[in-house]
């Protein structure tokens, strides 16, 4: 059976990388797709760990050769997912987690409608701004213009939340990690790929995952939508 393809998207600074790293330490058989990018490494990032760093010319050659499942240009830099990553993981009977933005997620869903899509929201613009400033400070400089640009983009990205099957709010890190792990486990159960899950644990992960489904998350995310100025369901007429 082909592996499950998980998509996770979030505005920059939402804590997605932290959650994904913790998830990978907790969940086996889950391959993280390392994206290609033309931007330079930040802080302690290493080639082939956080990203495959490459030149713009090489990236555009890969586009011409049809090597990407999806790609997008964000803030002047290309980001993309190589088809070879999925092929190799599925051949090893692993599931794949894609960390991609809303543009890339839309491309993937068009090609892989069976993909499981997860959107991670920051709780407020103020908390997101603080996280962005802390990250920039750790990288050596705080450029307020860039931070404000990312905050504006975050609002636009959050407006696309209805395109995702699951919604998480990263207000408490441990809870967000638990919810991510539950979603992976629940989807494996539904696909018949986790025969070892049973009893109370099975019911628990299914309950947690179902609580994160978009249809069951509206009350929880309403505060986030208001904070970012995003129209609430039924009020965007």
pLDDT tens-digit map of 20-30: 999 999 999 99
Structure tokens given for 186: 């629940």
HSE toward the beta carbon, residue 170, CA cutoff 13 A: 25
Give kind and range of the element (H or E) at residue 30: strand 30-33
Q: Is residue 19 assigned to a domain?
A: yes
Which residues are CB-contacts of 38 (< 8 A; sequence separation ≥ 6)? 53, 54, 55, 56, 59, 77, 78
Q: How many domains does the chain have?
A: 1
Q: Is 232 exposed, middle or buried (0-12, 13-18, 19+ CB in 10 A)?
A: exposed
Q: Is residue 72 assigned to a domain?
A: no
* Closest of 27, 40, 30, 13 to residue 123, by C-alpha: 13
Tens digit of pLDDT for each residue in 13-53? 999 989 999 999 999 999 999 999 999 998 788 899 889 99
Q: Is residue 155 assigned to a domain?
A: yes
Q: How far is CA 19 from CA 1, 143, 148, 154, 232, in A?
A: 27, 25, 24, 18, 26
Task: Return the HEC string of 158-200.
Answer: HCCHHHCCEEEECCCHHHHHHHHHHHHHHHHHHCCCCCCCCHH
Tens digit of pLDDT for each residue in 147-180? 899 999 999 999 999 999 999 999 999 999 999 9
- Beta-strand pair 68-74/35-37: unpaired
Is the CB of residue 113 less than 8 Å from the CB of residue 105? no
Q: Is residue 116's pLDDT more than 90?
A: yes
Q: Is residue 190 assigned to a domain?
A: yes
* Closest of 36, 17, 16 to residue 78, by C-alpha: 36
Q: Is residue 197's pLDDT more than 70?
A: no
Whole-angstrom distance, CA of residue 67 vs CA of residue 65: 6
pLDDT exceeding 70 applies to what percent of the chain? 94
Q: Is residue 80 assigned to a domain?
A: no
Q: Residue 66's pLDDT is what?
A: 96
Q: Is residue 109 assigned to a domain?
A: yes
Q: Is residue 88 assigned to a domain?
A: no
Q: What are phi and psi of 132, to 5 degrees?
A: -65, -40
Average pLDDT over residues 209-229: 93
Q: Is residue 138's pLDDT more than 80?
A: no
Q: Is residue 29 assigned to a domain?
A: yes
Computed on alpha carbons and rounded to an integer, the radius of gyration of the chain in Å comes to: 18
Q: What residue numbers bound the domain in which 162 lies?
A: 5-33+94-228
Alpha carbon 202 to its chain's center = 24
Tens digit of pLDDT for each residue in 55-75? 999 999 999 999 999 998 988
Give kind and range of the element (H or E) at residue 214: helix 214-228
Neighbours of 150 (CB within 10 A): 18
Mean pLDDT of the chain: 91
| CATH number where 186 lies | 3.40.50.300
Q: Residue 198's pLDDT is what?
A: 58
Q: Residue 1's pLDDT is what?
A: 40
pTM above 0.85, yes or no: yes
């Amino acid at each position: 059976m082909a592996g499950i393809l998980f998509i996770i998207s979030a505005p920059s600074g939402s804590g997605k990388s932290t959650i994904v790293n913790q998830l990978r330490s907790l969940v086996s058989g889950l391959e993280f797709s390392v994206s290609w990018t033309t931007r330079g490494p930040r802080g302690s990032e290493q080639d082939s760990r956080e990203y495959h760093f490459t030149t713009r010319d090489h990236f555009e050659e890969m586009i011409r050769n049809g090597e990407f499942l999806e790609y997008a240009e964000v803030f002047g830099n290309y980001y993309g997912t190589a088809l070879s990553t999925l092929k190799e993981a599925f051949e090893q009977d692993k599931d794949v987690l894609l960390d991609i933005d809303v543009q890339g997620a839309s491309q993937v869903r068009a090609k892989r409608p069976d993909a499981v899509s997860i959107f991670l929201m920051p709780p407020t613009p103020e908390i997101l701004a603080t996280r962005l400033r802390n990250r920039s400070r750790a990288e050596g400089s705080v450029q307020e213009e860039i931070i404000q640009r990312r905050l504006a983009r975050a609002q636009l990205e959050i407006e696309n939340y209805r395109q995702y099957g699951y919604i998480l709010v990263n207000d408490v890190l441990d809870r967000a990690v638990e919810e991510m792990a539950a979603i992976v486990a629940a989807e494996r159960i539904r696909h018949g790929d986790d025969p070892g899950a049973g009893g109370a644990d099975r019911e628990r992960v299914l309950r947690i995952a179902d609580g994160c489904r978009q249809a069951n998350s509206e009350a929880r995310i309403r505060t986030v939508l208001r904070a970012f100025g995003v129209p609430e369901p039924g009020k965007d007429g």
